[in-house]
């Protein structure tokens, strides 16, 4: 009996004690699964939807076989390894079916081994997996979720596949060689794109599982991926306006006073956010009635003002929670492998102060249902449609996933998918309730875009280095299918309202926020009265930050930083309001196609190969090129404009040819922004300098 066979349109290979299943999975796309033994198995959690019908052609020879789907062909051949631990090995190679050009091929790091697909047996039927591929000198890679390393090109980057605060894992990359690859595996591990080898690892998994597609442009590749993992819903129009948020509004009266102040000043406001510790205890998922006595009245008044309300809900559970005993008995919480609840130290509203909390188990369908039922009874019933799903990595201390036991198995095997399942149940519940809600999430996984989530870049620091890193972070998120994206304008930690440097940073970050998919002001500001640190001194909050979490940070409204800053931010808010029709069209197009709202220049100008790795400027929709000011004291910048279009500087109306470098002034409130010349008339109502078209 030969090693190769065709089974229901799939190429199945059994060789050397391993089984591979290679099958069509959408247009120009193939799914590859492998596992030691007699059959492959389905993963516990998969990002892939059932494929649309795709015709594949299986061809089988004596020492090899292939599967062709559209423009992609996967070739399998048995090769001899001289001087190797295993003498004969099955190796895969993915090529363009129309030209034969190699896209990606398996490779060994050393001729003696280990194999290209290296499985190390673990207990309970799992494997530690390492899959290695060739490295290509001319390759550029984008995606992989939302990193904070600040690199726009992933070539040369080694990174963890572990969900962490500010580091969201979506294991999908777009390659300049004309392929996209999804590591369809929720295990923790690593992805390494070295000069000599590309390597994906999983600490524990049921088998190899990846999906690969071919395309002529980054747009073709990303659209194919989004079709395979799910399209985003349409975003509600209100979400494209300005969001007000801070750590934290302590009471209903305090929050309403801020919203009314925006109204009385005539300032646009679309959403105001109720942050953490509005609750009684963690894991009770309800308003504290002493501080929030009438949430329904609050929501109704805000909605009458044209303002939506969002509430922060954490997946954490305190042992003091009224639900804790029930959840433990039902097996609804994460535990260690020996059954002890997994813990994170954090403060709570409990009078005993800081304590240890666990998480509900999002891998248990009964736990997801029970959690949602409590949320629906305490929030949705009070008119809350929009949820801030914070700490949903889940963020544990210490971060050792292999010590965690979920309802589906060991944490190392699946914890990357926690936010995917958590947010998915919210979307399901909101749809069943007839609510068009928005979810703001600190983590996401492959396919999260189909749940309609806004990924935000987490608790980043209020300094220029972190600010610069947010631009590639947002661009990689878009190249991972997540078009709904935002940051904390001004950064989260260590922003001091009395600091000249911070006020300048806030203005420049606000410029970026206005020209981002979602515009949201947030931060953990130093309380009033705490002295501004001197040069080289650390920022102080005046007391232990745990205490401030349960109290409040400093003010963070646009009038909080003095009249000069306020005037700039008010003008920028008007720009954001003027951009909303354009953003509505751009978000609608994203929902239809998967084209990112905020995209690298190379996405829209695929022939301009000099743009690979450019992460300081980006496209907002198809027509606006934005180059944020990311350093202190800058009032003039040079911006390289892509060939393939001519450009207008939106603040002066000056014309610039594509393929040239424009030198422009950038005073506060006017970071460099250019519009495609042919589209300038569409923006004349926002930017008066364009009105001569």
Catalytic residues: 390, 393, 459
Whether 387 and 437 have beta carbons less than 8 Å apart is answered as: yes
668 close to 632: Cβ distance less than 8 angstroms = no
- Axis-axis angle for helices 464-479, 500-514 (nearest 10): 20
Q: Which of 190, 215, 195, 212 is nearest to 93 (CA)?
A: 212
**69 pairs with which residues across the strands?**
56, 72
Q: Are 50 and 10 in contact (CB under 8 A)?
A: no
Distance in angstroms (rounded) separating the CA atoms of residues 108 and 133: 7
Cβ count near 7 (within 10 Å): 10
Strand 198-205 with 18-24, pairing = unpaired
CA neighbours closer than 13 Å in the CB half-sphere of residue 71: 18
DSSP labels for 400-423?
-GGGEEETTEEGGGTGGGHHHHHH
Q: Can you give the three-state secondary structure of 461-488, one letter per residue?
A: ECCHHHHHHHHHHHHHHHHCCCCCEECC
Q: Distance from first CA to last CA of the chain, Å, rounded? A: 73
Counting every residue written for the chain, the total comes to 693
β-bridge mates for residue 34, sequence order: 20, 208
Separation CA 533–CA 497 (nearest Å): 11
Helix 563-593 × helix 500-514 angle, to 10°: 30
CB 248 within 8 A of CB 635: no
Under 8 Å between Cβ of 456 and 441: yes
For residue 505, the number of C-alpha atoms closer than 13 Å in the C-beta half-sphere is 24
Q: Residue 264: CA atoms inside 13 Å, Cβ hemisphere, count?
A: 7
Rg value, the chain, Cα = 26
């Amino acid at each position: 009996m030969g090693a190769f066979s065709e089974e229901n349109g799939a190429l199945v290979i059994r060789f050397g004690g391993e089984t591979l299943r290679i099958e069509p999975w959408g247009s120009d796309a193939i799914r590859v699964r492998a596992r030691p033994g007699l059959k492959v198995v389905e993963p516990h959690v998969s990002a892939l939807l059932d494929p649309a019908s795709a015709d594949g052609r299986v061809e089988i020879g004596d020492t090899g076989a292939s599967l062709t789907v559209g423009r992609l062909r996967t070739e399998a051949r048995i090769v001899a390894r001289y001087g190797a631990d295993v003498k004969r090995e099955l190796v895969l190679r993915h090529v363009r079916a129309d030209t034969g050009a190699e896209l990606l091929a398996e490779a060994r790091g050393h001729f003696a081994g280990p194999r290209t697909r290296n499985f190390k047996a673990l207990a309970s039927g799992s494997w530690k997996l390492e899959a290695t591929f060739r490295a290509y000198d001319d390759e550029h890679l984008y995606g992989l979720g939302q990193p904070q390393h600040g690199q726009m090109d992933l070539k040369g980057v080694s990174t963890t596949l572990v969900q962490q605060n500010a580091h969201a894992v979506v294991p999908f990359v777009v390659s300049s060689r004309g392929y996209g690859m999804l590591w369809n595996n929720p295990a923790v591990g690593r992805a390494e794109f070295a000069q000599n080898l590309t390597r994906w690892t999983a600490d524990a998994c049921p088998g190899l599982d990846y999906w690969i597609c071919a395309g002529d442009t980054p747009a073709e590749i990303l659209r194919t991926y989004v079709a395979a993992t799910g399209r985003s819903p349409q975003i509600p129009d209100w979400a494209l306006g300005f969001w007000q948020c801070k750590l934290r509004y302590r009471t209903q009266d305090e929050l309403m006073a801020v919203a009314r102040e925006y109204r009385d000043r005539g300032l646009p406001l679309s959403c105001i956010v109720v942050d953490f510790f509005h609750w009684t205890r963690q894991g009770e998922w309800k308003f504290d009635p002493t501080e929030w006595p009438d949430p329904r009245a609050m929501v109704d008044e805000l909605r009458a003002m044209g303002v939506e309300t969002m509430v922060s809900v954490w997946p954490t559970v305190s042992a003091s929670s009224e639900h804790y005993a029930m959840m433990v008995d039902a097996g609804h919480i994460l535990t260690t492998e020996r059954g002890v609840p997994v813990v994170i130290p954090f403060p709570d509203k409990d009078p005993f102060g800081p304590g240890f909390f666990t998480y509900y188990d999002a891998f248990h369908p009964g736990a997801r249902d029970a959690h949602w039922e409590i949320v629906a009874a305490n929030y949705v019933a009070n008119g809350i449609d929009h949820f801030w799903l914070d700490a949903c990595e889940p963020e544990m201390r210490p971060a050792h996933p292999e010590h965690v036991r979920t309802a589906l198995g060991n944490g190392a095997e699946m914890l990357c998918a926690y936010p995917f399942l958590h947010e998915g149940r919210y979307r399901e519940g909101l749809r069943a309730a007839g609510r068009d809600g928005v979810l703001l999430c600190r983590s996401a996984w492959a396919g999260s875009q189909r749940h309609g989530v806004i990924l935000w870049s987490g608790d980043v620091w209020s300094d220029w280095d972190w600010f610069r890193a947010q631009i590639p972070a947002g661009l990689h998120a878009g190249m991972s299918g997540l078009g709904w994206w935002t940051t904390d304008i001004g950064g989260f930690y260590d922003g001091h309202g009395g600091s000249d440097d911070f006020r300048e940073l806030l203005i420049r970050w606000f410029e970026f926020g206005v020209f981002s998919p979602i515009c949201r002001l947030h931060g953990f500001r130093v309380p009033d009265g705490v002295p501004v640190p001197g040069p080289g001194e650390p920022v102080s909050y005046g007391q232990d930050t745990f205490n401030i979490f349960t109290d409040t940070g400093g003010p963070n409204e646009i009038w909080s930083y003095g009249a000069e800053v306020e005037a700039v931010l008010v003008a920028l808010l008007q720009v954001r309001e003027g951009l909303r029709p354009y953003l509505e069209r751009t978000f609608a197009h994203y929902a239809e196609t998967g084209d990112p709202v905020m995209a690298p220049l190379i996405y829209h100008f695929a022939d301009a190969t000099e743009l690979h790795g450019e992460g300081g400027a980006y496209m907002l929709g198809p027509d606006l090129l934005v180059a944020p000011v990311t350093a202190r004291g800058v009032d003039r910048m040079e911006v390289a404009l892509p060939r393939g279009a001519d450009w207008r500087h939106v603040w002066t109306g000056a014309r610039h040819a594509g393929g040239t470098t424009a030198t422009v002034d950038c005073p506060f409130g006017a970071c460099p922004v250019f519009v495609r010349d042919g589209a300038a008339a569409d923006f004349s109502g926002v930017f008066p300098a364009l009105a001569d078209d």
